[in-house]
Amino acid sequence: MAIRKIRIMGDGVLTKKCKEVKEVTPRIRQLIDDMIETMYEEMGVGLAAPQVGVLKRIVVIDVGEGPIIMINPEIIETSGEQCGSEGCLSLPGKMGQVTRPNYVKAKAYNEEMEEIIVEGEELLARAICHECEHLDGIMFVEHVEGELYDVAPAEEEEL
């Protein structure tokens, strides 16, 4: 496993649409392992492949209950609303208020390319929305209400 370099906002790779994964090759497996290690190293709650420069539809999330790997994720149901602070490893030291659904249900594939359902509320719901948007080249700053504000690194969870 290896720590990969996190791309920072302004890097063109973060605004591109990612491609679907058709097969989990050894290289993809390596990428997923590296993404998980990188997320932990950077104290993130989630990480999407384009954040390490790879335009593939893969996200990893850990809200403190162990890693969730989602390949080709697709949000299929949402409900409710939550408004809270959100940050991103690709925009270190900044956060902003973002409204997200309070509940999210998503369909994805695991490393065996078996279909899985991931559902969650609060932080997990927020993380799923945030990471899935990275796969379409969307950064959370597009949803920020008001101004971004400065935050000390690792003070808040970053997605």
Residue positions annotated with a catalytic role: 131
CB of 26 to Zn ion, least distance (A): 26
Is residue 129 annotated as involved in ligand binding?
A: no
> Binding to Zn ion (CB under 5 A): which residues in 83-112?
88
Is residue 130 annotated as involved in ligand binding?
A: yes
Count interface residues toward Zn ion (CB under 5 A): 2
Among the listed ranges 57-65, 80-88, 109-117, 148-156, the one in contact with Zn ion (CB under 5 A) is 80-88
Q: Does 159 bind Zn ion (CB under 5 A)?
A: yes
Pairwise CA distance, residues 49 & 140, whole Å: 16
Burial call 60-71: b when 16+ CB within 10 Å, e when fewer: bbbbeeeebbbb
At 101 the three-state DSSP class reads: coil
Q: 31: part of which helix (H) or strand (E)?
A: helix 26-41
Which residues does the annotation place in the binding site for Fe cation? 88, 130, 134
